Amino acid sequence: MTLLIILEALYDKDDASLVEMINNSVPVKTYSFKNKLFVIHSGFRFTINTGKAFDLLIDLSDLNDPQLILSPVSELTSFPLILGLVVFKKNKYIDAFSKVMIAGISEDNVKIYPIESKVEDIEIMNLNHSEFYIFRAEDNSIIRRFPLSRLYNKSLLLRDGKFYEY
């Protein structure tokens, strides 16, 4: 699975593909943390029927095989909802974010465009970029643009460890 496929499922309007992608994520509590962990926020958040919110994070440690991580939103792990925000494990699980963001990545996963902002600007989403880009490495032409966040407005049902449309 590529980053483009993940983002299309999260940001396009097909609810069935979205729910399938969420069900392919690994809960943060059971995720195998590697020594070289490179995780970005997907900018995507959803709630379940009980009102509990979840974020989807993307492990880009292996750019050819990105992994989705399901992380419950809490006071300790409430991140700004920004696609490309670099998050990391400071104490337990993934619980901190960096002032470095990824503004885009090439379709062949060769080039990544990092940008740096002040933490205060990230917290209030006062950013110099308004979209996340997937581009061609050869000529930097844009293949696909994604908004920096999506708050899914429908609740999902969580039953037996799987999410369903509610």
**More confident: 91 or 124:** 124
* pLDDT band (50, 70, 90) for residue 45: very high
* pLDDT band (50, 70, 90) for residue 15: very high
On whether the CB atoms of residues 43 and 132 are closer than 8 A, the answer is: yes
- The mean per-residue pLDDT over the stretch 41-57 comes to 96
* pLDDT band (50, 70, 90) for residue 35: low
Domain ranges of the chain: 3-153
For residue 76, is pLDDT > 80?
no
Task: Specify the amino acid at residue 149.
Answer: S
CA angle centred on 76, ends 62 and 97, rounded to 5°? 40
Could you report the per-residue pLDDT of 144-160, keeping only the tens digit for each? 999 999 999 999 999 99
Rounded CA separation 57/84 (Å): 9
CB burial string 96-109: b at 16+ within 10 A, e below: ebeeebbbbbbbeb
In the DSSP assignment, the letter for residue 165 is E
Percent of the chain with pLDDT over 90: 66
For residue 13, is pLDDT > 80?
yes
- The mean per-residue pLDDT over the stretch 57-74 comes to 92
pTM attached to this predicted model: 0.93
Q: Which two tokens stand for residue 119?
A: 């933490």
Q: Could you please report the per-residue DSSP string of 42-84?
A: EEEEEEBTTS-EEEEEEE-SSTTS-EEEEEE--SSS-----TT
Cα torsion 63, 67, 73, 77 to 10°: value is -50
